[in-house]
Amino acid sequence: MLEITYLREHAQEAAAGLKKRGLDAEQSIQDILKLDELRRQNQNELDQALAESNQISKEIGLLYKEGKREEADKAKARTAELKDRIKELQQEQEQLKNSLDQDLVALPNVPIDIVPAGKSEADNEEVKRVGEIKAMPEGAKPHWELAEELKLIRFDLGVKITGAGFPVYQGKGARLQRALINFFLEENRNAGFEEYQPPLMVNEDSGFGTGQLPDKEGQMYHVTEDKLYAIPTAEVPITNIFRGDIIEDEDLPIKATAYSACFRREAGSYGKDVRGLNRLHQFDKVEIVCLTKPEDSMPMLDSMVEHVAGLLEKLELPYRILRLCGGDMGFTSAITYDFEVWSAAQERWLEVSSVSNFKTFQTNRMKIRYRGEDKKTQLLHSLNGSALALPRIVAALLENHQGEDGIRIPEALQAFTGFDKI
């Protein structure tokens, strides 16, 4: 959620930034500022009424002691008037605050300067490409055929047990999954991220805090009776660990990592994008989350991008990095870099990671602050990234490393799999 102080001081900048998303928000911002001014005027009148009421209450007893009964009775009548007015002002204040919050929640984050304007993935900027895209040998197959032939993944069993989008991994397929999770976690820990094991269900406050609610409510699995949501990513519970906290300066930055199963309804997905492991309702992912002081968040973003790139290079996968345009970014993001790996058999790029800086958008919702050297509190910046999501990594590994004698396991992964070939 955007800070109201930011909109007061940078209304034109915010409107211009939101145009990069294809959103004309100038009138919405002006309406928000008018509501804010009414709220501040109301609060000022409320503060004055409370102060006057407190002052008169202190004087009434003295007036009676001094025998000034008539003046004391007038003062009591005035406090009764003030009590009624204070109640009215408090109700108005609550209504104004709720209206202001609703309008603020409806605004997405403002893209930073280097984010390109655009409406869709066609307007994203490629900033880096690594690895050679080689022609596949004759007879190369897509991962879903390889997985079936080598008895690694059973899509039919997933349909039998649950439904489409819930595959069953078996044998070396299951071991490869476990190896990738351990590999990513170890690499993240070696880079200074503390490991967590979070819940797979969160409450409404947690979903709101990271921006999944109300924006992505229809994409989340909802346990209605208990008002809980299955997490779409470990970002949600990990960031909410610090909700409402004031963190001391010496404890920053906070760097956290976690493995979790992830659940997404993916409503409306169809066609080639959902074949095999391309798009699932349940999948495994290792996440990294950072909380930093504002001046440190862009350098932290750069280091996270470099870290994710290092993981893909160790897996010997061709990849590219995209800077997303305003219209293709998530609701909460101020800047996002997507990582895509090359699917050799499918001959197309597959997204495997998004690394984003949310600035104060999430921390304002969750009131995650830090106490600086001057002992004043200030909102932190939050960042997160996939390091990495497994399904499309597995797809790329199977397709890019397939040969006549099987699937080659990258050297960096062999210590975790216990085998060098499938």
The answer to whether 105 is a known ligand-binding residue is no
For residues 255 and 193, the answer to whether their CB atoms sit within 8 Å is yes
The answer to whether 239 is a known ligand-binding residue is no
Please count the CA atoms within 13 angstroms of the CA of 422 that sit on its side-chain side. 27
Question: Which contiguous run of DSSP H or E holds residue 174?
Answer: helix 172-190
Q: In terms of DSSP bridges, do strands 201-203 and 228-230 run parallel, antiparallel, or are they unpaired?
A: antiparallel
Of 208, 136, 189, the C-alpha closest to 401 is: 136
**Residue whose pair of structure tokens reads 């909410």 in the numeric block:** 240
Paired strand residues for 337: 323, 355
The answer to whether 287 is a known ligand-binding residue is yes
Report how far residue 23's alpha carbon sits from residue 52's, in angstroms, rounded to the nearest whole number.
Answer: 46
Report how far residue 390's alpha carbon sits from residue 168's, in angstroms, rounded to the nearest whole number.
Answer: 14
The answer to whether 352 is a known ligand-binding residue is yes
1 contact partners, CB below 8 Å, separation of at least 6 = 101, 104, 105, 107, 361, 364, 365
Query: How would you label 157-167 residue by residue, b for 16+ Cβ within 10 Å and e otherwise?
Result: ebeeeeeebbb
The answer to whether 99 is a known ligand-binding residue is no
The answer to whether 400 is a known ligand-binding residue is no
For residues 63 and 55, the answer to whether their CB atoms sit within 8 Å is no
Strands of 377-379's sheet in order across? 246-248, 369-371, 377-379
The answer to whether 363 is a known ligand-binding residue is no
> Please, where are the H alpha helices in 69-227?
69-105, 143-149, 155-161, 172-190, 204-209
For residues 125 and 334, the answer to whether their CB atoms sit within 8 Å is no
Q: For residue 279, what is the DSSP state?
A: S
The answer to whether 54 is a known ligand-binding residue is no
Q: Which amino acid is at 256?
A: A
The answer to whether 286 is a known ligand-binding residue is no
Tokens representing residue 125 in the block: 């900027």
For residues 39 and 99, the answer to whether their CB atoms sit within 8 Å is no
The answer to whether 266 is a known ligand-binding residue is yes
Q: How many CB atoms lie within 10 A of CB 65?
A: 9
Tokens representing residue 90 in the block: 């408090």
Binding region for L-serine: 233, 264, 287, 384
Binding region for ATP: 264-266, 351-354
Binding region: 233, 264-266, 287, 351-354, 384
